[in-house]
Amino acid sequence: MALRIILTGEDAVLRKKSREVTVFDERLHQLLDDLYETMEEANGVGLAAVQVGILRRAVVIDVGEGRIELINPVITQRSDEKICSPEGCLSFPGETGLVERPKSVTVEALDRNGNFFAVTGQDLLARALCHELDHLDGIIYQDHAILMLDPSEVADEDE
């Protein structure tokens, strides 16, 4: 495994749409392992491949409930109930914004071997799923933020 460099700020790659993964080989496994290691090193709870400059629809998440890897993920259900909470991003260190997200979402995806699965997340996991899937379409949380917060007043995990 290896740490990868996280793209930050105005890097135009962060605005690009990622392509579907079609090959489930050792190279993909290496990417997922690297994403996870890079996310942990940065104390994040989620990281998308685009954030390390790889425009493929691959994401890792760990909100403290275990490692989740999502390939070609799609949100299939969102709760009507929404929660507004502080949110950050490893690509925008030191920044935090208030973002409204569904309390619960269900995502369908493939695992690293191309097997279908579904995951339903509540609260922080739902937030991380929405945040990371947005990255795959070049959307960053500031696009949804109701308000950007003074970073000295907030401490929260970055995604």
Binding site for Ni ion (CB under 5 A): 89, 159
Q: By Cβ distance, which residue is nearest to Ni ion?
A: 89
CB of 10 or CB of 80, closer to Ni ion: 10
CB of 114 to Ni ion, least distance (A): 25
CB of 24 or CB of 156, closer to Ni ion: 156
Which of 87, 132, 157, 159 does the annotation list as catalytic? 132
13 exposure class (CB count in 10 Å sphere: 0-12, 13-18, 19+): middle
Task: Please check whether residue 36 is in contact with residue 97, taking contact to mean a CB–CB distance below 8 angstroms.
Answer: no
CB of 22 or CB of 131, closer to Ni ion: 131
Alpha-carbon span 42 to 49, nearest angstrom: 15
Alpha-carbon span 49 to 34, nearest angstrom: 10
CB of 115 to Ni ion, least distance (A): 26
